[in-house]
Amino acid sequence: EVQLVESGGGVVQPGGSLRLSCAASGFTFDDYAMHWVRQAPGKGLEWVSLISGDGGSTYYADSVKGRFTISRDNSKNSLYLQMNSLRTEDTALYYCAKDTYVWGSYRFDYWGQGTLVTVSS
């Protein structure tokens, strides 16, 4: 059974940093690209970032480019999102999502339950 479990969320002040983690199990982790998708309270879904199965290719939404860094450790079956220079508009539930293809097809067949990030002074 595929499982994705996010952690690392919390309350942080504007300008601060946070590192999210996603522990994956139930599939061959490095065979698939992985994503972070977020959802602000009461709002829709926003794709944030993609990393290929080998970790060699990364992509970001314009709204986070230069501030967020996606990475993965295939030896630990783990995905990460380093978030710097956080803004109030980054407040959201952050989901880890599995792609169906190693290089990224933007088709998300499994999702975690999310970890909440609140940026507030």
* C-alpha to C-alpha distance for 96 and 92, rounded to whole angstroms: 13
Span 57-76, contacts to another protein by CB under 8 A = 61
Beta carbon of residue 45, minimum distance to another protein (angstroms, whole number): 4
Residue number with CB closer to another protein (43 or 87): 43
DSSP state of 26: S
Residue number with CB closer to another protein (29 or 95): 95
Q: How many CB atoms lie within 10 A of CB 108?
A: 18
Beta carbon of residue 57, minimum distance to another protein (angstroms, whole number): 14
Residue 105 engages another protein in binding (rule: CB under 8 A): yes
* C-alpha to C-alpha distance for 103 and 112, rounded to whole angstroms: 20
Helix (H, G, I), strand (E, B) or coil at 74: coil
The residue from 3, 57, 89, 106 that contacts another protein (CB under 8 A) is: 106
Inter-CA distances, 11 with 87, 118, 119, Å: 12, 5, 6
Beta carbon of residue 29, minimum distance to another protein (angstroms, whole number): 19
Q: Which residues bind another protein (CB under 8 A)?
A: 35, 37, 44-47, 50, 61, 95, 100, 105-109, 111-114
